Amino acid sequence: MPYDPTKKSIPLPALRAMLVLLFIIWSNAFTAIKHLREIFTPDELILARFLPFMVFSIIYLSVSRKRRMESIDLIKNSLLKIIMMGITGIAGYNFFLYVAQAEIKPGAAALITTLSPLITLFLALIFLKEKVGLKTVAGILIAFGGLYIVVNHGKIGMGIVKGVVRADLRYALIAALAPLCWSIYTIIGKSLAGKRSAFTITSLSTIAGTLPFLILFNQRFLGKVDSMAPSHWIALAHLTLLCTMAGFWIWNFALIHMPATSVSSFIYLNPPFAALSGYLFFGEEITGFFIIGSIILLTGLYMSQSEIRMKQRIVNTS
């Protein structure tokens, strides 16, 4: 039986609260990644992060007959989409982000990921035929303007690597491939939303994206795992348990109940939350420009959500 998201009515404020919580979690991922790159190469870090979730997903989907049948049906009917979600959302997004974070600051990485809503907007218009109003577009552009102020005047922008010609530009371009991959993952996930449960979609795509990296599971990799300090284990637990297991479920669950463009626009919360985390844990400065830019950013985000709020009110009262 196809998954029916209408069986459980989820209030829009609750969905927004879940997405805000998600980006509080994800904004701290950039610092965790930077720390773990001290030990792992980008492809090794993908394996270290997603292997536990892959094992858990296989067990979780296997122990229940209902989940087994759901998984088999999804594989039969949407195998290519599942593989593409694994390639883009697991392998592509994380590989490009991890490579870039060897040379750019976590705040800069958070900035570049905010290209995702604009990319998703164009992809949603082309492939999902989503109706995006002028207010939504204006809200996204205003949010991006606020983000520009935060990054360029709020002292959380990219640093320049010494000894490498135009290293900032080079690694910024590499990092920009990450939100492109994530936008494709979001659009494909949206096309599957409502057909099956969010966790089944998340689990199967994670398995598909992690399988190619099992070739790295060798003595060299295990030696690096054995050398991890407690701080590295904490960072890896944050990436695996919160960012991946909880985070991917929230993301795909939200896609079932909201337009892809609206869900994607919450990514603008990443840089302010990342800067706030730096202030709380590392004493990094928060400037007046940061506060002003954040207010503009959140105003734009609120505008981009207003149309979907109105549409839900119409549906609820009809």
Report pLDDT digits (tens) over 166-189: 565 677 778 889 988 988 888 888
In terms of DSSP H, where are the helices of 41-64?
42-63
- pLDDT band, residue 310 (cuts 50/70/90): low
Share of the chain above pLDDT 70, in %: 81
Task: Indicate if the pLDDT at residue 104 is higher than 70.
Answer: yes
Stretch 117-144: mean pLDDT: 76
Q: How far apart are CA 200 and CA 308, in angstroms?
A: 26
Residue 280 counted as domain residue: no
- pLDDT band, residue 314 (cuts 50/70/90): very low
Task: Tell me the torsion sign for CA atoms 18, 21, 27, 31.
Answer: negative
Residue 157 counted as domain residue: no
Higher pLDDT, 58 or 152: 58
Comparing CA positions, the residue from 61, 4, 14 lying closest to residue 201 is 61
Q: How far apart are CA 154 and CA 291, in angstroms?
A: 8
Q: How far apart are CA 247 and CA 227, in angstroms?
A: 27
Higher pLDDT, 274 or 202: 202
**pLDDT, the chain, mean:** 80
Q: How far apart are CA 243 and CA 225, in angstroms?
A: 19
Residue 301 counted as domain residue: no
Comparing CA positions, the residue from 59, 119, 132, 129 lying closest to residue 93 is 119
- pLDDT band, residue 223 (cuts 50/70/90): very high
What is the reported pLDDT for 90? 93
What is the reported pLDDT for 291? 82
**Type of residue found at 73:** D
Residue 126: which domain range? 5-133+164-269
What is the reported pLDDT for 11? 80
Tokens standing for 214?
Answer: 């099992």
What is the reported pLDDT for 5? 44
Higher pLDDT, 26 or 236: 236
SS3 label, residue 243: helix
Residue 306 counted as domain residue: no
Task: Indicate if the pLDDT at residue 270 is higher than 70.
Answer: yes
What is the reported pLDDT for 51? 95
Stretch 234-248: mean pLDDT: 90
Domain count across the chain: 1
Task: Indicate if the pLDDT at residue 238 is higher than 90.
Answer: yes
Higher pLDDT, 309 or 190: 190
Q: What angle do CA 165, 168, 174 make, to 5 degrees?
A: 110
Residue 276 counted as domain residue: no
Task: Indicate if the pLDDT at residue 315 is higher than 60.
Answer: no
Residue 84 counted as domain residue: yes
Task: Indicate if the pLDDT at residue 95 is higher than 80.
Answer: yes
- pLDDT band, residue 308 (cuts 50/70/90): low
Q: How far apart are CA 100 and CA 45, in angstroms?
A: 13
Stretch 82-88: mean pLDDT: 95
Task: Indicate if the pLDDT at residue 159 is higher than 60.
Answer: no
Higher pLDDT, 75 or 318: 75
Residue 290 counted as domain residue: no
pTM: 0.75
Residue 287 counted as domain residue: no
Higher pLDDT, 202 or 314: 202
What is the reported pLDDT for 317? 41
What is the reported pLDDT for 307? 61
Task: Indicate if the pLDDT at residue 213 is higher than 90.
Answer: yes
